[in-house]
Amino acid sequence: MILTDTELDLDEIDHEVSIKSAQDHDPISLTLPDSICGDRLDKVLSKLVPQYSRGRLQQWIEAGHVQVDGQPSKIKTTMLGGELITIQPQLAIEDNAFVPEDIELNIIYEDEAILVLNKPAGLVVHPGAGNWSGTLLNGLLFHRPALAMVPRAGIVHRLDKDTSGLMVVAKTLTAQTELVRQLQARTVKREYAALVWGTPNASGTVDAAMARHSRDRLKMAVSMSILAKPAITHFQRISVGMLEKFPVSLVACHLETGRTHQIRVHMSSLGFPLVGDTLYGKQHLVRFFPRQALQARKLGLIHPSTQLPVEWSIPLEVDFVDLLDRAGMPQPWR
């Protein structure tokens, strides 16, 4: 699943957190029936041990974790029937995805129902391809073990790896259900600070549906496809400056929806990509900042327990402030 820089698309939420039990990796012994005579080893095992994929079984055979009559074998070895097969299942990388890890968390608010944290740039929110460990989810499970009982360890929205800022995490299933409902109803208030190349209008709204890019699966794009989902971003220009000879603008973006890479795609579609954005930005100007200049600086919602409105805000990160200083721009949120 592709990581987002805003909210997780709600129709893609997986309400299961799979934690492997010890018996999933106990040795398996079986005697092959005579009826399999003439079939190769990997095909036989894929039929007799269907809980594991054929590809994984092939990896185990090649690594010597499958023995035939006490000896390692080959994937294409022909079985005659009657052989004793011993399989020692091995953990896959993804099986460690939900293991608690001691990762520092900057929690700025917490009660019995929710916690709000400031995610640093560089931290992936949820395990996925290429990032099966070292994620925010792993850290949450370490610091708050009870979150193992809540789907996705309470995560209801996420930020892209290189986007910093505020996130809310549900500590109970009831709170998670309520927060998801609020996200679906678009009542959660989220404001982002973004530094963009160029000088956009003083304010505006981008109402442009988005879908996966037709040629580059790592990217999203404004799209007229029937698969595109509604996406709305409101923006306001806060100040302007210069990075060397290039004009830049500090923009406050308010999300009405939260699609994958929404702010990055919408601002780029107007001709004002984010400073430091290597995916949608100006490649020859990435030297100015090592990540996209984007921070979730304000978060507001209805508390799932008290039903009262609550709001949090944080100042810009040190690297973001330094970037504004270089551009000759004041820091408006202290």
- Does 307 fall in a domain? yes
Q: Which residues of 307-324 are buried (b: 16+ CB within 10 A; e: fewer)?
A: eeeeebebebbeebbebb
**Structural domain span for residue 65:** 23-90
Q: Note whether 41 and 66 are within 8 A (CB).
A: yes
Last residue of one domain, picked from the residues 73, 90, 107: 90
- Does 208 fall in a domain? yes
Q: Distance between CA atoms of 292 and 247, rounded to whole angstroms?
A: 16
Q: Who contacts 234 (Cβ-Cβ below 8 Å, separation ≥6)?
A: 203, 204, 205, 253, 254, 255, 256
- How far lies 219's CA from each of 1, 124, 222, 280, 332, in Å? 13, 17, 10, 8, 31
Q: Note whether 61 and 41 are within 8 A (CB).
A: yes
Structural domain total, the chain = 2
- In 272-318 the beta strands, taken as DSSP E runs, fall at 294-302, 309-313
**What token pair was written down for 62?**
């090649």
Mean pLDDT score, 281-296? 85
> Which residues are annotated as catalytic?
160
Q: Specify the pLDDT at position 35.
A: 87
Amino acid identity at 39 = D
Poorest-pLDDT segment among 20-34, 50-64, 267-281 = 20-34
Q: Are residues 294 and 275 in the same domain?
A: yes
**What token pair was written down for 246?**
């290039």
Q: Specify the pLDDT at position 93.
A: 64
Q: Distance between CA atoms of 112 and 115, rounded to whole angstroms?
A: 8
Place of tokens 């810009």: 316
**CATH code of the domain containing 139:** 3.30.2350.10
Q: Who contacts 206 (Cβ-Cβ below 8 Å, separation ≥6)?
A: 231, 232, 233, 235, 266, 267, 269, 270
Q: Are residues 242 and 113 in the same domain?
A: yes
Q: Decide which of 72 and 90 is more confident.
A: 72
Place of tokens 């998801």: 180
Nearest CA to 162 among 272, 319, 273, 334?
A: 319
- Per-residue pLDDT for 305 more than 60? yes
Q: Are residues 48 and 184 in the same domain?
A: no
Q: Specify the pLDDT at position 94.
A: 62
Q: Are residues 124 and 243 in the same domain?
A: yes
**CATH code of the domain containing 37:** 3.10.290.10
Q: Are residues 252 and 125 in the same domain?
A: yes
Q: Specify the pLDDT at position 255.
A: 94
Q: Specify the pLDDT at position 87.
A: 94
Look up residue 104 and give its DSSP letter. -
200-235 pLDDT, tens digit per residue, is: 999 999 999 999 888 887 889 999 889 899 999 999
Poorest-pLDDT segment among 22-36, 45-59, 199-213 = 22-36
Q: What number of other Cβ atoms are within 10 A of residue 140's Cβ?
A: 27
Residue 10's pLDDT band, with cuts at 50, 70 and 90, is very low
Q: Specify the pLDDT at position 199.
A: 97
Q: Are residues 30 and 57 in the same domain?
A: yes
Q: Are residues 305 and 218 in the same domain?
A: yes
- Per-residue pLDDT for 137 more than 70? yes
Q: Are residues 101 and 69 in the same domain?
A: no
Q: Are residues 176 and 49 in the same domain?
A: no
Q: Are residues 110 and 72 in the same domain?
A: no
Phi, psi of 277 (to 5 degrees): -80, 105
- Per-residue pLDDT for 99 more than 60? yes
The mean pLDDT of the chain is 88
- Does 273 fall in a domain? yes
Poorest-pLDDT segment among 15-19, 77-81, 145-149 = 15-19
Q: Is 36 helix (H, G, I), strand (E, B) or coil?
A: helix
142-160 pLDDT, tens digit per residue, is: 999 999 989 889 999 989 9
Q: Are residues 37 and 127 in the same domain?
A: no
Single pTM value for the model: 0.75
> Is beta strand 232-243 parallel, antiparallel or unpaired with respect to 246-255?
antiparallel
Q: Note whether 140 and 86 are within 8 A (CB).
A: no
Mean pLDDT score, 33-45? 90
- Does 1 fall in a domain? no
Q: Decide which of 9 and 220 is more confident.
A: 220
Q: Specify the pLDDT at position 24.
A: 53
- Does 210 fall in a domain? yes
Residue 16's pLDDT band, with cuts at 50, 70 and 90, is very low
- Does 291 fall in a domain? yes
Q: Who contacts 190 (Cβ-Cβ below 8 Å, separation ≥6)?
A: 6, 7, 254, 255, 258, 296, 298, 299, 300
Mean pLDDT score, 40-61? 89
Q: Are residues 264 and 148 in the same domain?
A: yes
Q: Distance between CA atoms of 277 and 323, rounded to whole angstroms?
A: 14
Last residue of one domain, picked from the residues 74, 90, 106: 90
- Does 2 fall in a domain? no
Last residue of one domain, picked from the residues 70, 90, 110: 90
- Does 278 fall in a domain? yes
Amino acid identity at 124 = V
